[in-house]
A and B are shown apart, each in its own frame.
Chain A
Amino acid sequence: MQIIKDKAIVEDQWVHFDGQGDLPDGDLIVSLDVWQTRANELQGRRVGLQLEPDQHPKDVRDELANFELIAINFPTFMDGRGYSYAKILRDRFGFEGEIRAVGDVMRDQMFYMQRCGFTAYEVKEGRDIHDAIKAFDDFSVKYQVSADEHIPIYRRR
Chain B
Amino acid sequence: MYKYDENDRRIVLERAAQFKSQVERRLTGALKEEEFRPLRLQNGLYLQLHAYMLRVAVPYGLMSSTQMRMLSHIASKYDRGYGHMTTRQNIQFNWPKLDDVPSILDDLASVEMHAIQTSGNCIRNISADQFAGVIADEVVDPRPYAEIMRQWSTFHPEFAYLPRKFKFAFTGATTDRAAVQFHDIGFHALKNDAGEVGFKIYVGGGMGRTPMIGKVVSEFVPEKDLLLYTEAIMRVYNQFGRRDNKYKARIKILVHEMKLEEFTRRVEDEFTALLEEGGLPLDQAEIDRVAAYFVDPAYEDLPEKSASLDQNLADNRDFSFWYRQNVLTHKKTGYAIVNLSLKKPGVPPGDLTDVQMLAIADLADKYSFGEIRSTHEQNLVLADVRKDDLFDLWGALNASGFADPNIGTLQDMICCPGLDFCTLANARSIPIADKITSRFDDMDYLYDLGELKLKMSGCINACGHHHVGHIGILGVNKKGTELYQITLGGSAGDDASVGKIMGPGFDEDGIVPALEKILATYIDLREDGEEFLATYRRVGMTPFKETLYANH
Query: Using a CB–CB distance below 8 Å, which chain A residues touch chain B?
Result: 53, 56, 77-81, 83-84, 87, 91-92, 106, 108-109, 111-113, 115-116, 128, 138-141, 143-146, 150, 152-155, 157
Contact = CB atoms under 8 A, between A and B. Distances in A.
Contact of A84 (B11, B235, B273, B280): B235
Contacts of B157: 83, 111-113, 115-116, 144, 146
Interface string B251-290: 0000000000000000000000100011010010110010
B155 interface: yes
B38 interface: yes
Given A112-B155, A116-B157, A138-B18, A81 B239 contact: yes
A79 B243 contact: yes
Interface in B129-173: 151-152, 154-163
A144 B39 CA distance: 21
A109 B5 CA distance: 26
A122 to B, nearest CB: 17
B8 to A, nearest CB: 8
Nearest to A135: B18
A154 B289 contact: yes
Contact of A153 (B7, B35, B235, B243): B7
A45 B181 CA distance: 54
Contacts of B161: 77-80, 83, 109, 112
B14 A92 contact: no
Q: Which 10 A-B pairs have the closest CB atoms?
A: A80-B161, A115-B157, A112-B157, A154-B286, A141-B11, A83-B158, A143-B151, A141-B7, A138-B18, A84-B238
A7 to B, nearest CB: 16
B439 interface: no
* B7, B11, B157, B158 interface centre (most CB from chain A within 10 Å): B157
B13 to A, nearest CB: 10
Contacts of A139: 11, 14-15, 18, 155
A92 B152 CA distance: 20
Nearest to A143: B151
A157 B238 contact: no
A157 B5 contact: yes
A106 B152 contact: no
Contacts of B306: none
Nearest to A86: B158
B152 A141 contact: no
B461 interface: no
Contacts of A111: 157
B39 A143 contact: no
B414 to A, nearest CB: 30
B535 interface: no
Given A80-B121, A84-B238, A141-B11, 20 more contacts: A53-B243, A80-B162, A80-B238, A81-B238, A84-B239, A108-B22, A112-B158, A112-B161, A113-B157, A115-B157, A128-B30, A138-B18, A139-B11, A139-B15, A141-B7, A143-B154, A143-B156, A144-B157, A150-B280, A155-B283
Contacts of A138: 14, 17-18
Given A78-B121, A153-B151, A141 B238 contact: no
B160 A143 contact: no
Nearest to B227: A144
Contacts of B285: 154
Nearest to B154: A143
Contacts of A113: 157
A140 B9 CA distance: 11
Nearest to B285: A154
Interface in B93-141: 121
B10 interface: yes
B240 to A, nearest CB: 9
A143 B238 contact: no
